[in-house]
Amino acid sequence: MSYAATHDQHDDHHGAPKSFFQRWCMSTNHKDIGTLYLVFALTMFFIGGSFAMGIRAELFKPGLQLMQPYFFNELTTMHALVMIFGAIMPAFVGLGNWMIPLMVGAPDMALPRMNNLSFWILPFAFILMLSTLFLPGGGPAGGWTMYPPLSLQSNSLAYVVFAIHLMGISSIMGAINIIATILNMRAPGMDLMKMPVFVWSWLITAFLLIAVMPALAGAVTMLLTDKYFGTNFFNPGGGGDPVLYQHIFWFFGHPEVYIMILPAFGIISEIVPTFARKPIFGYKAMVFAIACIAFLSFIVWAHHMFAVGLPLGAEIFFMYATMLISVPTGVKVFNWVATMWGGSMTFETPMLFSIAFIILFTIGGFSGLMMALVPADFQYHDTYFIVAHFHYVLVTGALFAIIAAAYYWMPKWTGNMYSEFWGKVHFWNSVIWVNVLFFPQHFLGLAGMPRRIPDYNVAFANFNMISSIGGFLFGASQLIFIGVLIHCVFFSKKKATDRVWEGAKGLEWTVPSPAPYHTFELPPVVRDEELAHGHVND
């Protein structure tokens, strides 16, 4: 192959195409596609967030206030589906798209056109799913887990199943692309064990995605045939079993939990060393801990089902396997703290969100450990305790990491510094109100308030009101982020340097800010001292 041939392929060699449609709908550029993913995720975050506001408004006082119970159930179902598949996952894919090629010295993703397809499937999938809210008979209201037989009563099941198929196709293609990029496109000298932890975390996450999204596709396909084609997978009268669905679903669902948190671990492992001005403590241990968590995620799924009546042996196995996960997770938390130990720390907004992540995610981890105990879980199951738990790991975990990453890399993306003052206002409002929102839910759960109900006993009134107030203010605080973002992109006068942060290391900081439309068209020279985590093999 001649160099001329390569050159011909780059008709947009020095910049973005001028036409809007060509640039955004026909893109093969990882930065533009990454931006599309991030904008989509932010939009979905506010749509899902508005559903959450509806839920908290209804729960502000006991009794039915604002809506019919069926609509409430639609809100809880859609809130989860939108936040998981529309906000958190696309945000991580967007960050991966933007940063992985920059971090490993690749010019783009390995399969750029498939990358564009992965993204463009998503808006259509969500149009299909959200349109069910306006159909006669309403949208899905059986919870995001879609357990049969309840979910089979929904009139809009086919729409949701096909939307999930589309999202699955998108995720699998995105994951294949990320694996091929990391394994095949690294610059010479960027050995596997020199890669940034964020890249490692995405490599393992991508493997999880390819392994479990097809299982979800299979499970929802069985729902589809049970409802529309008369099969009996989940009907005991025909020899099936509704619990079978739960097994297949959670075989997907538990690794899915780690799909939503491993890239967050990667992000925190990039940010903490930068602002502590020290290489990460125990790089290899961090990598192996991620791999270990990923492996364990395949053998713990039934801890979501302790209360369905599993045989005792299964309950014991899944209980111990689940508790094992706290070992590699503990390694990670320990290493983040040890990285900060003795560092010369500064507390810019990304670092604040990272520290909040470490503390609050750990709280969510501990409440998870409580529920791993089978006898205790019988008490907590399907109460607000689990709601508090997974919001601590998903909001103050995954979401805080995404926000931290957005602040951390925003100057590289836009070429401008964001307003540190308003970033901190956003942080303090978020971190205070998120605890007002979710911490009381632990008490509600322990006192026995079930999840997914529009009305409750007056005994739960006070904590629910506190939680709702926290919810409204947390939701409002996120508007500050929109302000910071718009200011940074369009109005900020303060130009970012190439390095942006004093302690930042890694290939992504060697390119100009904003990162040019094409980077690393020729493989860069990798020097160990420039890498994020030093020369780890010493």
Partner 1 sequence: MQFPGRHDGAKVIKRNPRGLTMGQQHDAYFVPTKSYWPIVAAVVMFITVFGAAHWLNAGPGEAGFGKGVLTIGVIGIIGMFFGWFRSVINESLAGNYNAQVDTSFRMGMMWFIFSEVMFFGAFFGALFYVRMYSLPWLGGHGHGVLTHQFLWSDYVASWGANGGGGPEQVGGAFRTVPAWGLPLLNTMLLLTSSVTVTIAHHALRAGQRGKILLFLGLTVLLGATFLYFQAHEYMEAYNELNLTLRSGVYGATFFMLTGFHGLHVTLGTIMLLVIWFRVLKGHFNKDHHFGFEAVAWYWHFVDVVWLCLFLFVYIL
Among 250, 463, 501, 520, binds partner 1 (CB under 8 A): 520
CB of 251 to partner 1, least distance (A): 7
**Which residue, 186 or 391, is less far from partner 1 as judged by CB?**
186
**Which residue, 175 or 387, is less far from partner 1 as judged by CB?**
175
What's the DSSP call for residue 496? Answer: P
Would you call 258 a catalytic residue per the annotation?
yes
Residue 237 binds to partner 1 (criterion: CB under 8 A): yes
Stretch binding partner 1 (CB under 8 A), from 39-47, 162-170, 297-305, 400-408: 162-170
Would you call 428 a catalytic residue per the annotation?
no
Would you call 455 a catalytic residue per the annotation?
no
CB of 534 to partner 1, least distance (A): 20
Distances in Å between the alpha carbon of 178 and those of 8, 118, 213, 465? 26, 11, 15, 44
Would you call 304 a catalytic residue per the annotation?
yes
Would you call 517 a catalytic residue per the annotation?
no
Check 32, 256, 270, 508 and give the catalytic one: 256
Would you call 442 a catalytic residue per the annotation?
no
Would you call 354 a catalytic residue per the annotation?
no
Give, as ranges, the residues between 110 and 139 that touch partner 1 (CB under 8 A). Answer: 110-114, 116-117, 120-121, 124-125, 127-128
Residue 9 binds to partner 1 (criterion: CB under 8 A): yes
Stretch binding partner 1 (CB under 8 A), from 240-248, 320-328, 412-420, 432-440: 240-248
Would you call 247 a catalytic residue per the annotation?
no
CA dist., res. 345 & res. 183, Å (int):
34
Residue 149 binds to partner 1 (criterion: CB under 8 A): no
Q: How would you class 127 by CB atoms within 10 Å of its CB: exposed for 0-12, middle for 13-18, buried for 19 or more?
A: exposed
Stretch binding partner 1 (CB under 8 A), from 75-83, 245-253, 362-370, 378-386: 245-253
- How crowded is residue 75: how many other Cβ atoms within 10 Å of its Cβ? 24
Check 32, 74, 108, 315 and give the catalytic one: 108
CA dist., res. 165 & res. 468, Å (int):
34
Check 27, 77, 297, 329 and give the catalytic one: 329
CA dist., res. 443 & res. 435, Å (int):
13
CA dist., res. 434 & res. 312, Å (int):
38
Among 5, 20, 490, 538, binds partner 1 (CB under 8 A): 5
CB of 472 to partner 1, least distance (A): 35
CB of 279 to partner 1, least distance (A): 23
Check 76, 118, 132, 170 and give the catalytic one: 170
**Which residue, 34 or 364, is less far from partner 1 as judged by CB?**
34
Give, as ranges, the residues between 191 and 210 that touch partner 1 (CB under 8 A). Answer: 210
Residue 311 binds to partner 1 (criterion: CB under 8 A): yes
Check 245, 258, 408, 433 and give the catalytic one: 258
Stretch binding partner 1 (CB under 8 A), from 244-252, 288-296, 443-451, 471-479: 244-252
CA dist., res. 248 & res. 222, Å (int):
10
* Cis omega (within 30 of 0) for bond into 149: yes
**Which residue, 9 or 134, is less far from partner 1 as judged by CB?**
9
Give, as ranges, the residues between 18 and 57 that touch partner 1 (CB under 8 A). Answer: 22, 25-29
CB of 538 to partner 1, least distance (A): 20
CA dist., res. 10 & res. 25, Å (int):
17
Among 56, 165, 391, 442, binds partner 1 (CB under 8 A): 165
Please report, as a single letter, which amino acid is at residue 230: G
Check 27, 118, 151, 269 and give the catalytic one: 269
352 close to 403: Cβ distance less than 8 angstroms? no
Would you call 79 a catalytic residue per the annotation?
yes
Check 227, 304, 389, 533 and give the catalytic one: 304
Q: Which of 175, 275, 220 is nearest to 502 (CA)?
A: 275
CA dist., res. 327 & res. 493, Å (int):
46
Q: Which of 261, 147, 146, 128 is nearest to 205 (CA)?
A: 261
Would you call 477 a catalytic residue per the annotation?
no
434 close to 473: Cβ distance less than 8 angstroms? no
Residue 528 binds to partner 1 (criterion: CB under 8 A): no
88 close to 260: Cβ distance less than 8 angstroms? yes
Among 375, 493, 522, 538, binds partner 1 (CB under 8 A): 522
Would you call 241 a catalytic residue per the annotation?
no
**Which residue, 105 or 263, is less far from partner 1 as judged by CB?**
105
Would you call 538 a catalytic residue per the annotation?
no
How far separated are the first and last CA of the chain, in Å rounded? 39
Exposure of 389 in the CB half-sphere (CA atoms within 13 A):
21
Residue 104 binds to partner 1 (criterion: CB under 8 A): no
Would you call 426 a catalytic residue per the annotation?
no
Please report the sign of the dihedral spanned by the C-alpha atoms of residue 212, residue 111, residue 291, residue 405: negative
Consecutive H or E run containing 384: helix 384-393
Would you call 329 a catalytic residue per the annotation?
yes
- The SS3 of residue 383 is strand
Among 63, 70, 228, 341, binds partner 1 (CB under 8 A): 228
Q: Give 395-451 as a 3 state SS string.
A: HHHHHHHHHHHHHHHHHHHHCECCCHHHHHHHHHHHHHHHHHHHHHHHHHHHCCCEC
- Residues annotated catalytic, as ranges: 79, 108, 144, 170-171, 254, 256, 258, 269, 303-304, 329, 332, 451
